[in-house]
A and B are shown apart, each in its own frame.
Chain A
Amino acid sequence: MSGYQMVIGLETHIELSTKTKIFCACTTAFGGEPNTHCCPVCIGLPGSMPRLNRAVVEYAVRAGLATGCRINEIAKMDRKNYVYPDLPKAYQISQFDKPLCLGGRILLKNGREIGITRIHIEEDAGKLVHEGGKTYVDYNRGGVPLIEIVSEPDIRSVEEAVEYVEKLRLIMKYIGVSDVKMQEGSLRCDVNISLRRSEADPFGTRAEIKNMNSFAFMEKALRYEYERQAALLDAGHPVVQETRRFNTATGETEPMRGKEDAQDYRYFREPDLVTIRVTKEEQEALRKTLPLLPDERFARYTGELALPESDATLLTQYRAVSDYFDAVVQGLPNPKTAANFIIGQLFGRLATEEDKEAFAIELSPDKLRALCELVAGGKITMTLAKATLEKMLDQNAGPEEILTPEEMAGMDDSQLDAVCRAAVEANPAAVKDLRAGKGKAMGAIMGAVMKATKGRADAGAATAIIRKMIESMPD
């Protein structure tokens, strides 16, 4: 893509994982026969009134704190008025000009910060199914609590857009406010995209594409929009500010009719709900409930623990994995070893994303740490350690239950020295080849060392000893 710069802003709707809806005590459980998770409040019967779920406010404040937002001490609820069958009161209770959170940011890998304008709470609408010339309405989802996270138009590429959403997902999962599953609808994105020639130019006219519910579709939609807007601008035509939807069949975006036409939401303060006050003390108390966040952990892993970035990325991908790793490396001199074990072997048993999220590994961190300590102390080789770990995982046992006491005791230097000398003396042909520069010949000698030590010898140390012996041999 060339010629224009993409300017992208995202509005992300995230379903909160509270037990009940935002304004009534109906369950938020997914699925269920239509209209079986409803009551007079969430179907908006005349005379019904909303009651705000405390947990929704707490989850939203935590989401704000976890993304660097400042929390509005005084916030309120407003009515957003429009008529559509999935909205039983003909207004959505949302937040307009005094939302709970303002001014946060998301840090991308390329070092760029994407600003978060605001985060507010609101209720979800019901579901419409169009079939056989009829529209069927199910209000089970109506009233499910949402937070809407609005980004500044700071995103400059499709890759950045995807990374931004992935980062939001990761943070929300870490702090436990949502299961953020795009396929299930607990994470939805609306994208705003405009083009301009360069950073120095003012923003162009933007188009909004609503309800992206998969990363693949979001990417396709953005790329299509770039081409569409670029073609218009090249031909000297203006881009129309409009709402569009992504047609998954054609791979194109098209204008959305009806719902958004002539929309004037006539926001005003919701008179049935009272002011929300979140004091500084309450904000602090909620901040304390936050776990160390992915960025903070990544910084520690690459800094203090000196792990490579690729390891740190994999370890921070899932909170349960990171929590486990943190427990293992407590007081451990060789965190890289622990990382290798987790990424190299434990992940092998956790095939899918769900598996890694759930991290159903029975082996306690203490036991894995014990294994790492044996490696650190040179008591066992990595080869033996890996084999031991597989058995430990199978049996949910510590290393002391798998290894023999001799293996645990390891080999000291004089023992290794003796074994190497024996192997060298027993393989004169290989020694001769080695001295002639045939590096492969080391294999035969090493084989003999390993055989004699039942694989316990440290290959690196043995190699060094053997070379030294050979070098110091008289010609």
Chain B
Amino acid sequence: MITKDDLLHLALLSKLEVKEDEMDALIADMESIVAFADTIAQASGGVEGDGLPTTLENVFREDEVRPSMDRSLILKNVNGGENGCFVVRTRKQAAR
């Protein structure tokens, strides 16, 4: 049973906005997906550990400085930013 509050809490953690008219369909979807996930509850057995598919250990990088990336490239996807920084307005009117 996923309640509206459960969904809103998950949305808050995931930084997603769920509109009122999306709510019911999304809850239905989530319930069927979660029921599907619940089937592991019946599975017995299990092995201690992270289960990750790699056995590598101690992969390190040496502490040697390499040139950083040019700032113009760092800011390329925000058209250069402002004052060399990424910028967000704290509040903004809709762009209409």
Contact = CB atoms under 8 A, between A and B. Distances in A.
Interface stretch (A49-57, A156-164, A307-315, A456-464): A49-57
B59 interface: yes
A129 B68 contact: no
Interface in B1-37: 9, 12-13, 15
- The B contact surface, by secondary structure, is loop
A351 interface: no
A52 B61 contact: yes
Contacts of A440: none
A135 B63 CA distance: 32
Interface in A97-143: 129-130, 133-139
Most buried by B among A134, A262, A277: A134
Contact of B89 (A27, A36, A133, A139): A133
Contact of B64 (A19, A139, A269): A19
B52 interface: yes
Interface residues of B, number: 34
Interface in B48-88: 50, 52, 54, 56-66, 68-69, 71, 74-75, 81-88
Nearest to B60: A54
B83 A136 contact: yes
Interface string A426-450: 0000000000000000000000000
Contacts of B91: 133
B85 A19 contact: no
Main secondary structure on A side of the interface with B: loop
A33 B86 contact: no
Q: How large is the interface on A (under 10, 10 to 19, 20 to 34, 35 or more residues)?
A: 35 or more
Contacts of A138: 84-85
A25 B60 CA distance: 12
A240 B75 CA distance: 43
Given A54-B63, A55-B63, A262-B9, A40 B57 contact: no
A46 B84 CA distance: 21
A465 interface: no
A134 B88 contact: yes
A52 B63 CA distance: 9
A76 B52 CA distance: 12
A46 to B, nearest CB: 10
A133 to B, nearest CB: 5
Given A137-B87, A274-B54, A274-B58, A35 B71 contact: yes
A463 B74 CA distance: 79
Contact of A37 (B62, B63, B68): B68
Given A134-B88, A137-B86, A38 B69 contact: yes
Nearest to B54: A274
18 contacts: A20-B66, A26-B68, A34-B83, A34-B84, A38-B68, A39-B68, A51-B59, A51-B60, A52-B61, A54-B60, A55-B62, A85-B86, A136-B83, A136-B87, A274-B57, A275-B56, A275-B58, A276-B58
Interface of B: 9, 12-13, 15, 50, 52, 54, 56-66, 68-69, 71, 74-75, 81-91
Given A53-B61, A53-B63, 12 more contacts: A20-B65, A26-B68, A35-B84, A36-B84, A52-B60, A54-B62, A54-B63, A55-B62, A55-B63, A136-B87, A262-B9, A274-B58
Interface of A: 18-20, 25-27, 33-40, 43, 51-57, 76, 83, 85, 129-130, 133-139, 262, 264, 266, 269, 271, 273-277
